[in-house]
Chains A and B, each alone.
Chain A
Amino acid sequence: MLSQLSTGQEPGLARGVTARAVTDVNCRKFAGHGSYKLVTVPTSWPLFNKIAGVSMRGTFAVVCVFMAALGMSAQTDMTAPPSMSMDGQAYKIQIGPSLAFFGGAMNTISAEGRKTRPDFFALPAYGIAVYAPFGTGVKMGGRLDLGIISTGTRTRPYEFFDGNTSWEGYIRERYQYFTIAPSINLAGVNLGAGFNIPMSGQMWHPDRSSEAFDVDRSTMKLAIDVRLGTMIEVYSHSLGTLYVELQAKYYVTGLYNDDKYTMGNTVNQRGDPSQDFRTYDMLDNVPAGAQLGVSYLFDLTF
């Protein structure tokens, strides 16, 4: 054992350890517990001792601050009923529509011979959000979003595409999903994941949007995204609360089944396959994006 822990009393030296120093950083009294945590370190480890005096102290301080913040955030009056806060406020969950009115996304990888650009579009997400705090008066909670989301990208299919030069000109790709997205809200910061069931996908030339190509839906997979965002309370009323929401997403799984992205293969300047299909290094469409929106969540008290 490299260290030894005990509470309430001084520890004895472990057998086989010739000399130990009890560093002050490893001896802390935990408020409310009335006990000590002691860690003994062999003096034969000078490097460890040197580090312990600096980084362990810093780490411990960070942990303490984090726990204190967490504690303050989650503070509830233990004498009140579980569904009541100190001021008699009842526990409430919130439910209501959410609408992202503007967003942008871009495929983060592109096959050799192709290029990608960000695309911006309206209504990247809309649906219903349910927010349930972890307790009465607690500023942390769980959130569940159900609804429709879109992601997309602009893609330059090959160098000489559309008679333009310098990689100008592109096609648009857009994909719609039904999403089930649980997340955790930490005092306004949302961290979660989206499980996105494919509904449809389209590609079109910006000058000929009426001639959209509908993607074979069977080539699309359940796409999982990780999302980080914020919900800022801007207006509160007896009915509910209006939030402004900002969110960033990254589709960790990509959008297509293996080898099924229609623009995942390498091409030459004219758009012809530059390799035999058996040696393709087929890539997926892996978009990242961000969106801005609002939600109005009605209070449901219990």
Chain B
Amino acid sequence: MKTIPLVAAALIVLAFVPSCKEGPTGAHPGHELVVKYNDGILKDLTTIKSAEVMVSGDSIVMQTLPLRSDTIVQGKMLFEVLESGVGISSAELIVNFATMPSTPGSYAFTAAKATAQGSATVATGVILNIENGTFYATEGTIVITEARVENGLVKGYSGYINGKLKSVWPKGFNPGIGGLVPPGFDISNPSLIGEELTLHSCPFKTRSNSSVPVIAPID
């Protein structure tokens, strides 16, 4: 008789059990792109960021990187720390799209492919240049929450990014000097075997005056 209430109790408990979530997903709520000074001599002054990157890795402490300027070119969003202009070579964050999105939605990373020069190509995903090196998308998602498109021209995007990135060369290896590589690694035909970086959160809202045509996917 006592097994009945025990089984009932166990079932009640199981009904509450939440699922495990791996994360990271979503935009970290502790980061705002528009910050208003509400005290001191700068009271009512507003500062605006185009994006903010939050990353950590095996040997990289959790860090945030405010990106204050942006631009959109065909197939790419570029973000840079400095306010003064953005170029592909100087951008800290490059967001690639195989096809420029024209509607909100989730766009999964396509895994980066390493090149013989020690870089990698990313069809849809991100490339991050930070002090620790250059990291390329391996898995993750770009979520566009707002696509500002007028007459077939992309005016801007808002959204966030989460995912995993990797560098090409093994940690400590310098292609100009050499270093240890794992067995089977071919320097002339490298793969992404470097340090893994987690892109915990990257909310973005472009501010540049862009007019990039949306090119329909080729069937």
User: By the criterion CB–CB under 8 Å, are B30 and A262 in contact?
Assistant: yes
Contacts of A204 in B (CB 8 A): 29
User: Which residues of chain A from 148 to 169 have any CB-CB distance to chain B below 8 Å in the complex?
Assistant: 148, 155, 157-165
Of the residues A200, A216, A264, contact of B198 by C-beta under 8 Å:
A216
B206 within 8 A of A: no
| Interchain nearest-CB distance for A245 vs B (Å) | 15
Docked Cα-Cα span, A50 to B25, in Å, equals 68
Stretch in A4-12, A66-74, A267-275 touching the partner: A267-275
Residue of B nearest to A163 (CB): B36
Contacts of A96 in B (CB 8 A): 5-6, 9
> In the complex, which of the residues B31, B60, B66 has the most CB atoms of chain A within 10 Å of its own CB atom?
B31
Residue of B nearest to A150 (CB): B18
Docked Cα-Cα span, A217 to B29, in Å, equals 17
In the complex with contacts A128-B13, A265-B62, A270-B35 CB distance below 8 A? yes
Interface size on B, residues (CB 8 A): 42
Of the residues A128, A203, A265, A272, contact of B29 by C-beta under 8 Å:
A203
Contacts of B63 in A (CB 8 A): 265, 273, 277, 280
User: By the criterion CB–CB under 8 Å, are A211 and B13 in contact?
Assistant: no
Docked Cα-Cα span, A177 to B19, in Å, equals 10
User: By the criterion CB–CB under 8 Å, are B66 and A157 in contact?
Assistant: no
User: By the criterion CB–CB under 8 Å, are A148 and B6 in contact?
Assistant: no
Interface of B is mostly: loop
User: Which residues of chain A from 111 to 158 have any CB-CB distance to chain B below 8 Å in the complex?
Assistant: 123, 126-128, 147-148, 155, 157-158
Of the residues A213, A259, A282, contact of B26 by C-beta under 8 Å:
A213
Docked Cα-Cα span, A159 to B6, in Å, equals 51
| Interchain nearest-CB distance for B91 vs A (Å) | 19
Of the residues A203, A262, A269, contact of B62 by C-beta under 8 Å:
A262
User: By the criterion CB–CB under 8 Å, are A259 and B30 in contact?
Assistant: no
Contacts of B9 in A (CB 8 A): 96-97, 128, 296, 298
Contacts of A233 in B (CB 8 A): none
Docked Cα-Cα span, A212 to B24, in Å, equals 10
User: Which residues of chain A from 244 to 274 have any CB-CB distance to chain B below 8 Å in the complex?
Assistant: 259-265, 269-273
User: By the criterion CB–CB under 8 Å, are A300 and B61 in contact?
Assistant: no
B151 within 8 A of A: no
Docked Cα-Cα span, A259 to B59, in Å, equals 9
> In the complex, which of the residues B21, B66, B201 has the most CB atoms of chain A within 10 Å of its own CB atom?
B21
B216 within 8 A of A: no
User: By the criterion CB–CB under 8 Å, are A126 and B18 in contact?
Assistant: no
User: By the criterion CB–CB under 8 Å, are B5 and A298 in contact?
Assistant: yes
User: By the criterion CB–CB under 8 Å, are A212 and B64 in contact?
Assistant: no
Residue of B nearest to A270 (CB): B35
Contacts of B10 in A (CB 8 A): 97, 128
Residue of B nearest to A204 (CB): B29
Docked Cα-Cα span, A213 to B160, in Å, equals 11
Contacts of B198 in A (CB 8 A): 216, 218-219
A205 within 8 A of B: yes
Of the residues B17, B23, B31, contact of A271 by C-beta under 8 Å:
B31
| Interchain nearest-CB distance for A180 vs B (Å) | 14
B47 within 8 A of A: yes
Residue of B nearest to A207 (CB): B29
User: By the criterion CB–CB under 8 Å, are B27 and A213 in contact?
Assistant: yes
Docked Cα-Cα span, A165 to B32, in Å, equals 15
B148 within 8 A of A: no
User: By the criterion CB–CB under 8 Å, are B39 and A211 in contact?
Assistant: no
| Interchain nearest-CB distance for B85 vs A (Å) | 20
User: By the criterion CB–CB under 8 Å, are A277 and B37 in contact?
Assistant: no
A33 within 8 A of B: no
B54 within 8 A of A: yes
| Interchain nearest-CB distance for B205 vs A (Å) | 14
User: By the criterion CB–CB under 8 Å, are B28 and A203 in contact?
Assistant: yes
Pairs across A and B, CB under 8 Å, 27 listed: A126-B13, A127-B13, A157-B31, A158-B30, A160-B38, A161-B30, A165-B39, A201-B21, A205-B29, A213-B27, A214-B23, A214-B24, A214-B26, A215-B23, A239-B5, A259-B56, A260-B62, A262-B28, A262-B62, A265-B61, A265-B62, A265-B64, A269-B37, A272-B66, A277-B60, A278-B61, A298-B9
Interface residues in chain A, defined as those with a beta carbon under 8 Å from any beta carbon in chain B: 95-97, 123, 126-128, 147-148, 155, 157-165, 171, 176, 199-205, 208, 211-219, 239, 259-265, 269-273, 277-278, 280, 282, 296, 298-300
11 more CB-based (< 8 A) A-B contacts, given A148-B17, A205-B29? A147-B13, A148-B16, A160-B35, A161-B35, A200-B18, A208-B29, A213-B201, A216-B23, A217-B23, A265-B62, A298-B9
8 A-B pairs closest in CB distance: A157-B30, A214-B23, A259-B61, A277-B63, A213-B26, A200-B21, A97-B9, A216-B24
